[in-house]
C-alpha cells in the first residue's frame, strides 16, 4: 500500500519512528516484563521514564530551574480555568488577546473568575490576522496577559513574542497547544505556557504546563486540589496518577526531536513545509487562503476552493491518493492541512502535487 499522509489537526500524526519503537516495546519494556501501561507510576521503571521525559524537554527548550514542568490531564481546555484560578493572585482582572475560536473559549471560561479586558481582538476581520502590539490596550491592573500563539482552526499564528516585561510587569501566558516545539522557545519571556499534547507532542490525555515558580501558591479560594499548580509542582506531577502512557510516548517524541537536530532544525523544516503550501495558494486562483500573509500559521493551513461545489470531489480524490483528514473544521468548512512536526516534507510535496493536478483538471 502507498504511504498515507495524515493532515489531521489533532489528535495528529506522530513520527513513524516513535510509533515503531512503541510497538517494539509494547509488551515488554526494556526487559521489565511489563508494558508501560501496566507500570506503577511510582515504580522505578516508570520513574526513570518520567525523569527522562522531563529532562529531555528541559534540554530541548532550555528551561531554567526556576520554571516547573508539569504533566497534567484535563486537556488544554482545563487550563482555561486553571490559569485564572492560579494566576489572579488577589487581583480581579486579566488581559486577553482574542485571535480566534480558541482565544474566545479561553476568555469565556476565564470570565467566570475575573473581569476580562480584551486588550486586542481581530474579530472584526473575522479572525484572519494577529493585532499588532501597538494596537493593544492593556489594563495595567490586570494579573496577567493571555494569548493563543497559534489558532488551530483559523490558521493564524504569532510569529513574534509580545514585548512584555513578564518578570517585573504582568506575566505573559500562552496557549501553545498547536505550535509548541515547532520552533525555539525563549521560556524566560513567559510566566506560564501550556499545551494539550495531541498535536505536536504526543497522544491526547496529557497536558503540559511550564510555569515560573514564583507564580505558584496563591490559588483562588475554593480551587480544587487538582487545579492547584503548586500541588502538582510539589509532587513532581505525581499527586495522583499521571497519564503514564501518554507521557512515555511524548518522551519518545522529545528524544526524536533531539535526534532530528532540535528546535532550530525543526523550525527550518517547518518553514520549508509551510512555504511549499502557501506558495501554491498564492500562485493559484483555484484556491484561496483567507489569512493575512504575515500571520499565516506554519502548523495549520486553512484554504478554500473557489468553487465550493468541488469540495466533496476534492476530499474524495485526496483520500484516494492517500492524503487524508483534510476537511476543514466543522465551524468554518473548506479544507485545512495540518502539518505539525511529524509531517514529513514528502507528505506536503505530495499534497501540493495533488492540489496542482486537481486545479488543472477542474480549471
Ligand atoms: N487550544 C488550542 C489552540 C487548541 O487547538 C485546542 C484543541 O484543539 C485546545 C486549546 C483545546 O484542547 P483540548 O481538547 O486538549 O482541551
Atom of ligand 1 nearest to the CA of 152: 5
State the pLDDT at residue 152.
Answer: 98
Domain 17-259 in this protein, CATH class: alpha beta
Rounded to an integer, what distance in angstroms lies between the CA atom of residue 288 and that of residue 282? 8
Catalytic (active site) residue 175: yes
Query: How far, in Å, is the centroid of ligand 1 from the Cα of 76?
Result: 5
Q: Which three cell numbers stand for residue 102?
A: 480558541
Cβ of 340 below 6 Å from ligand 1: no
Query: How far, in Å, is the centroid of ligand 1 from the Cα of 45?
Result: 31
* Catalytically annotated residue among 29, 56, 68, 175: 175
- CA proximity to 64, closest of 158, 182, 189, 148: 189
Cβ of 103 below 6 Å from ligand 1: no
Rounded to an integer, what distance in angstroms lies between the CA atom of residue 314 and that of residue 355? 9
Domain 262-362 in this protein, CATH class: alpha beta
Would you call 132 exposed, middle or buried from its count of C-beta atoms within 10 A (0-12, 13-18, 19+)? exposed
Cβ of 148 below 6 Å from ligand 1: yes
Q: Which three cell numbers stand for residue 313?
A: 470531489
Catalytic (active site) residue 105: no
- Sequence-separated (6 or more) residues with CB below 8 Å from residue 349: 276
CATH 3.90.1150.10, the chain: domain bounds: 262-362
Atom of ligand 1 nearest to the CA of 77: 16
Q: What pairs with residue 156 in β-bridges?
A: 151, 296
State the pLDDT at residue 153.
Answer: 97
- Residue ranges for the chain with pLDDT beneath 70: 1
State the pLDDT at residue 1.
Answer: 62
Query: How far, in Å, is the centroid of ligand 1 from the Cα of 363?
Result: 37
Query: How far, in Å, is the centroid of ligand 1 from the Cα of 155?
Result: 13
Atom of ligand 1 nearest to the CA of 74: 16
Q: What pairs with residue 148 in β-bridges?
A: 175
Atom of ligand 1 nearest to the CA of 148: 3
Consult the annotation and say whether 240 binds a ligand: yes
Pocket test for ligand 1, best of 77, 151, 328 (most atoms within 8 A of CB): 77
Cβ of 71 below 6 Å from ligand 1: no
The 93-98 sheet, strands edge to edge: 67-72, 207-212, 192-196, 172-175, 145-148, 93-98, 115-121
Tell whether ipTM is more than 0.90: yes
Q: Which three cell numbers stand for residue 345?
A: 516534507
Cβ of 237 below 6 Å from ligand 1: no
CATH 3.40.640.10, the chain: domain bounds: 17-259
pTM higher than 0.95: yes
DSSP secondary-structure letter at 327? B
Contact 258, 60 (CB under 8 A): yes
Cβ of 149 below 6 Å from ligand 1: no
Would you call 259 exposed, middle or buried from its count of C-beta atoms within 10 A (0-12, 13-18, 19+)? exposed
Cβ of 152 below 6 Å from ligand 1: yes
* Catalytically annotated residue among 29, 56, 68, 102: 102
State the pLDDT at residue 166.
Answer: 78
Catalytic (active site) residue 179: no
Query: How far, in Å, is the centroid of ligand 1 from the Cα of 357?
Result: 33
* Catalytically annotated residue among 56, 68, 179, 199: 199
- Minimum CA distance residue for ligand 1 atom 9: 76
Amino acid at each position: 500500500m502507498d504511504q498515507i499522509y495524515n493532515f489531521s489537526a489533532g489528535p495528529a500524526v506522530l513520527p513513524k519512528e516513535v510509533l515503531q519503537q512503541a510497538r517494539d516495546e509494547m509488551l515488554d519494556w526494556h526487559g521489565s516484563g511489563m508494558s508501560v501501561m501496566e507500570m506503577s507510576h511510582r515504580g522505578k521503571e516508570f520513574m526513570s521514564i518520567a525523569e527522562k521525559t522531563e529532562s529531555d524537554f528541559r534540554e530541548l527548550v532550555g528551561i531554567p530551574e526556576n520554571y516547573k514542568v508539569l504533566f497534567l490531564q484535563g486537556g488544554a481546555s482545563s487550563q482555561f480555568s486553571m490559569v485564572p484560578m492560579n494566576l489572579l493572585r488577589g487581583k480581579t482582572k486579566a488581559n486577553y488577546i482574542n485571535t480566534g475560536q480558541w482565544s474566545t473559549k479561553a476568555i469565556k471560561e476565564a470570565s467566570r473568575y475575573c473581569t476580562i479586558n480584551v486588550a486586542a481582538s481581530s474579530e472584526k476581520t473575522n479572525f484572519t490576522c494577529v493585532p499588532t502590539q501597538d494596537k493593544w490596550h492593556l489594563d495595567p491592573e490586570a494579573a496577567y496577559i493571555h494569548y493563543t500563539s497559534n489558532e488551530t482552526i483559523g490558521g493564524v499564528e504569532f510569529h513574534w513574542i509580545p514585548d512584555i516585561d513578564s518578570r517585573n510587569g504582568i506575566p505573559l501566558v500562552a496557549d501553545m497547544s498547536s505550535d509548541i516545539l515547532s520552533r525555539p522557545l525563549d521560556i524566560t519571556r513567559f510566566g506560564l505556557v501550556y499545551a494539550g499534547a495531541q498535536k505536536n507532542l504526543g497522544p491526547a490525555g496529557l497536558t503540559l504546563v511550564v510555569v515560573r515558580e514564583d507564580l505558584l501558591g496563591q490559588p483562588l479560594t475554593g480551587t480544587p486540589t487538582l487545579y492547584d499548580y503548586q500541588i502538582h509542582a510539589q509532587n513532581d506531577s505525581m499527586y495522583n496518577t499521571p497519564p503514564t502512557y501518554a507521557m512515555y510516548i511524548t518522551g519518545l517524541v522529545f528524544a526524536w526531536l533531539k535526534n532530528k537536530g532540535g528546535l532550530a532544525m525543526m523550525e527550518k523544516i517547518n518553514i520549508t513545509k509551510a512555504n511549499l503550501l502557501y506558495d501554491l495558494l498564492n500562485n493559484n486562483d483555484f484556491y484561496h487562503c483567507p489569512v493575512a500573509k504575515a500571520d499565516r500559521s506554519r502548523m495549520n493551513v486553512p484554504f478554500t476552493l473557489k468553487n465550493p461545489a468541488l469540495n466533496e470531489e476534492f476530499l474524495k480524490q485526496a483520500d484516494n491518493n492517500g492524503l487524508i483528514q483534510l476537511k476543514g473544521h466543522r465551524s468554518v468548512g473548506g479544507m485545512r492541512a495540518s502539518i505539525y512536526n511529524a509531517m514529513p516534507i514528502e507528505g506536503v510535496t505530495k499534497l501540493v502535487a495533488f492540489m496542482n493536478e486537481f486545479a488543472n483538471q477542474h480549471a
